[in-house]
Amino acid sequence: MQTLTLQTPDDWHVHFRDTALLRETVPATARVFRRAIAMPNLVPPVSTTAAASAYKQRLLDARPAGSAFEPLMTLYLTPTLDATEIARAAAAGIRAVKLYPAGATTHSEAGVGDLDSIYPTLEALQAHGMLLLVHGEVVDPAVDVFDREREFIDRHLRRIAERMPDLKIVLEHISTREAVEFVTEAGANVAATITPQHLLLNRNDLLVGGLKPHNYCLPVLKRRTHQEALRAAAVSGSRKFFLGTDSAPHEQMAKESSCGCAGCYSAPTALELYAQIFDELGALDRLEGFASHHGADFYGLPRNTGHVTLVRQPWSIPERIALPGGGTLVPLLAGMQLDWQIQTIGSERL
């Protein structure tokens, strides 16, 4: 196969950040994706309908001229988020609420400490048909960092999914075999996103031969056996698994500092990376479902009508991306040769 045409895809998990960074991150996602779920972990967090509406306008203002790209907004689930605000958000067309266990990842300090306390909030989400998006890791310091996703599923998520059978739940950026098994076996109300980094890399790519900060993300990369389980799930054709890049920019100096901020910036090459993976696994015929159908169907949104065509033609990911106003980003797998690149983007499905 030398060309591959897909119905226009969506990205169901993106960190755009804010202010000057939007001039890089929004066009990078909008170049191939028609819609994207915008994460709310700004400082301060996007925890009200008014804040989400204002943030959406900033995202729209950063679109390239003539772009039809649509950011889909979320609220940050804080301990004070109540049923009144959820009703207001639902009426405004906000699609989902994001659960961050407090301290689990970047800008999660405003998240939830006591997960047993949020059931009234979850009941309100269920009543209004909004989705719960989950960063699924415990923050218990006694739990090994490589086991935190599994522990979250066992301690919390199984109970939430069983108690709230009509609440749609997306376990985001899954990273373990146990997460694949949980999502597969759970009811129709549970799905998951899978990132390019968790499909392409394992913990050897983070640690062997020296720490590689640009491969550091949360949930942290796991053993190869977990990577293989994720790859099998992505190409399985199951409608429970779909594309969510978790593209998360940090400036080069922040990634390479003692902080070593968690997050991989994949937006400029995301679809090409997924094509590389599906090609390696002999499953290019299933990429369209994963990228363009399953997420829209789970969210209850219409599938897109346009198309994106990729061509088999080697090229290399840039080593660095200059930011408007100064500074640089290092994209995921900078310098790597890819076999697929975007050829055409059209407004109608071929």
Catalytic site residues?
Answer: 246
Cβ burial of 123 (10 Å; 0-12, 13-18, 19+) is middle
Cβ burial of 256 (10 Å; 0-12, 13-18, 19+) is middle
Closest CA to 46 of 101, 117, 94, 105: 94
Please count the helices (runs of H) and the strands (runs of E) in the chain.
14, 14
Closest CA to 111 of 154, 150, 75, 78: 78
Q: Is 246 marked as binding a ligand?
A: yes
Q: Is 17 marked as binding a ligand?
A: yes
Q: Is 13 marked as binding a ligand?
A: yes
Crossing angle between the packed helical segments 224-234 and 270-280, to the nearest 10 degrees: 100
Side chain identity, residue 345:
I
Q: Is 16 marked as binding a ligand?
A: yes
Q: Is 132 marked as binding a ligand?
A: no
Q: Is 250 marked as binding a ligand?
A: yes
HSE on the CB side for 158, CA within 13 Å?
Answer: 12
Closest CA to 23 of 270, 328, 324: 324
Q: What angle do CA 75, 264, 173 make, to 5 degrees?
A: 55
Q: Is 15 marked as binding a ligand?
A: yes
Q: Is 202 marked as binding a ligand?
A: no
Q: Is 140 marked as binding a ligand?
A: no
Decide: helix, strand or coil at residue 337.
strand
Q: Which residues are annotated as a binding site?
A: 13, 15-17, 41, 98, 135, 173, 218, 246, 250, 262
Q: Which residues are annotated as a binding site for substrate?
A: 15-17, 41, 135, 218, 250, 262
Q: Which residues are annotated as a binding site for Zn(2+)?
A: 13, 15, 98, 135, 173, 246
